[in-house]
């Protein structure tokens, strides 16, 4: 059986639509359709129900899913075993591809230096960095698009994922230097009357801030959410309001005087969770990347 068909099947089962699966696999949607029809013909049973709301595995498809993932993992192990022999012949050089997913703040601040260090130490190891939301990261780990994810979350409760807390990111309230609260102490009552430009829904520290602001008696904050931290930061630097962001993402702007700290209520540092799939095989290259990420965040 062609393992490409199984890869397409697993991706479609996790993605929930032919369009999303095609995008994840970098294939034409018609190719995904051909793969699934071919697999269904080989197995002699429908694997998906095509519904207006999306694509749902049939009972046969549900039974096949875990088995298919195990087959794909076995194939990955075989390839790694074969390449290990080549690595021994080459003096132990590690090679392969590792896909890492992380939020916008980590992608733009912490991770470039880590990727550069890995490229220097392991030139034949290709690390691909993807800026993703928490939901997309979880989906990527489940479909196999990602090998590792870094999540800014207090905890990761999904039973099929393994998470390890490797660091904490301090948060900071910031505003433009000319803002009325710049350099001043501000309690919740003061913040509840301000305009906030924060990261998109699903960002744990932004969601917590918005919930707190909206729960205050008589609160009337103006909340604008962006998918890009840079967009939120730029609006604040233009004097339009405040934001709460990981300190590392605003250090450069603070140093240049484009932003200044607002002494707001205590914001607990947000944990950095290193996450991988519980059942999926963790390749040697992915282990090296995870170790370097752990070391780099501990040093930071």
The pLDDT assigned to 86 comes to 47
How far from chain centre, in Å, is Cα 161? 13
Q: Do the beta carbons of residue 206 and residue 200 sit within 8 Å? A: yes
Q: Tell me the backbone φ, ψ of residue 228, rounded to 5 degrees.
A: -120, 130
pLDDT in tens, 276-287: 998 887 888 899
The pLDDT assigned to 76 comes to 72
Q: What band does 186 get if pLDDT is binned at 50, 70 and 90?
A: very high
Residues 6+ apart with CB under 8 A from 89: none
Q: Tell me the backbone φ, ψ of residue 15, rounded to 5 degrees.
A: -80, -35
What's the mean pLDDT in 49-68? 90
Q: Tell me the backbone φ, ψ of residue 127, rounded to 5 degrees.
A: -105, 120
The pLDDT assigned to 1 comes to 73
Q: Indicate whether 247 pLDDT > 80.
A: yes
Q: Indicate whether 252 pLDDT > 70.
A: yes
What's the mean pLDDT in 182-193? 93
Q: Tell me the backbone φ, ψ of residue 2, rounded to 5 degrees.
A: -70, 120
Decide which of 52 and 209 is more confident. 209
Contacts of residues 212-216 at CB distance under 8 Å and 24 or more positions apart, as own/partner, are: 212/188, 213/188, 216/188, 216/189, 216/192
Hey, what are 242's tokens?
């405040």
Q: Indicate whether 148 pLDDT > 90.
A: yes
- For residues 71 and 6, give the distance between their C-alpha atoms in angstroms, rounded to a whole number: 8
Under DSSP, the state recorded for 91 is T
Q: Indicate whether 82 pLDDT > 80.
A: no
| HEC profile of 6-20 | HHHHHHHHHHCCHHH
Minimum mean pLDDT range among 92-96, 156-160, 182-186, 202-206: 92-96
Decide which of 139 and 152 is more confident. 152
In order of their start, the domains of the chain are 1-93 (1.10.10.10), 94-169+272-299 (3.40.190.10), 171-268 (3.40.190.10)
pLDDT in tens, 210-240: 999 999 988 889 999 998 899 999 999 999 9
What's the mean pLDDT in 44-57? 91
* pTM score of the predicted model: 0.74
Q: Indicate whether 87 pLDDT > 70.
A: no
What's the mean pLDDT in 181-198? 94
Minimum mean pLDDT range among 134-143, 170-179, 197-206, 243-252: 134-143
What's the mean pLDDT in 243-268? 95
Under DSSP, the state recorded for 269 is P
């Amino acid at each position: 059986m062609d393992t490409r068909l199984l890869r397409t099947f697993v991706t479609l089962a996790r993605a929930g639509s032919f369009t999303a699966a095609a995008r994840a696999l970098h294939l034409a949607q018609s190719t995904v359709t051909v793969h699934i029809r071919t697999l269904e013909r080989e197995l002699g049973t429908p694997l998906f129900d095509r519904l207006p709301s999306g694509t749902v595995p049939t009972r046969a498809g549900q039974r096949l899913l875990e088995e298919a993932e195990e087959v794909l993992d076995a194939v990955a192990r075989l390839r790694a075993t074969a390449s290990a022999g080549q690595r021994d012949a080459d003096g132990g050089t590690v090679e392969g591809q590792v896909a890492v997913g992380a939020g916008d703040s980590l992608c733009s601040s912490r991770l470039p230096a880590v990727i550069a260090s890995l490229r220097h130490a392991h030139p034949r190891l290709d690390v691909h960095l993807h800026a993703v939301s928490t939901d997309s990261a979880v989906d990527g780990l489940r479909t196999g698009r990602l090998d590792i994810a870094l999540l800014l979350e207090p905890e990761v409760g999904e039973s099929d994922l393994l998470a390890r807390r490797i660091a904490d990111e301090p948060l900071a309230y910031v505003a433009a230097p000319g803002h009325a609260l710049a350099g001043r102490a501000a309690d919740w009552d003061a913040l509840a009357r301000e305009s906030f430009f924060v990261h998109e829904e699903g960002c744990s520290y932004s969601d917590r801030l918005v919930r707190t602001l909206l729960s205050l008696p008589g609160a009337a904050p103006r909340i604008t959410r962006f998918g890009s931290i840079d967009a939120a930061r730029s609006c604040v630097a233009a004097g339009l309001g405040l934001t709460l962001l990981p300190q590392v993402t605003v250090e450069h702007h603070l140093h240049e005087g484009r932003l200044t700290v607002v002494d707001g209520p205590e914001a607990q540092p947000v944990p950095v969770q290193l996450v991988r799939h519980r059942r999926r095989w963790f390749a040697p290259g992915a282990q090296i990347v995870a170790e370097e990420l752990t070391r780099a965040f501990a040093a930071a």
